[in-house]
């Protein structure tokens, strides 16, 4: 998760989004998945704003 946040801080949103998706697929419980999924939705929203 920290690596994905680091990618975001450095403007590498595609890498961050890909990593968040991987992390979501590997989440061990629903609360962890929810936390990660919120980041996915937020980044996808940013991507759509830039279109």
Grade residue 48 by pLDDT with cuts at 50, 70 and 90: confident
Cα–Cα distance measured from residue 48 to residue 26, given in angstroms and rounded to the nearest whole number: 26
* Residue 51 confidence class, pLDDT cut points 50, 70, 90: low
Over residues 3-35, the pLDDT tens digits come to: 999 999 999 999 999 999 999 999 999 999 999
pLDDT at 50: 72
Residue 49 has pLDDT above 90, yes or no: no
Per residue in 18-45, is it b (16+ CB within 10 Å) or e — as a string?
A: ebbbebbeeeeeeeeeeebbebbeebee
The predicted structure's pLDDT at residue 47: 83
């Amino acid at each position: 998760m920290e690596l994905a946040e680091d990618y975001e801080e450095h403007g590498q949103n595609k890498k961050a989004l890909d990593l968040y998706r991987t992390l979501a697929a590997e989440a061990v419980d629903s609360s962890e998945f929810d936390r990660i999924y919120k980041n996915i939705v937020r980044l996808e929203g940013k991507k759509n704003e830039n279109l």
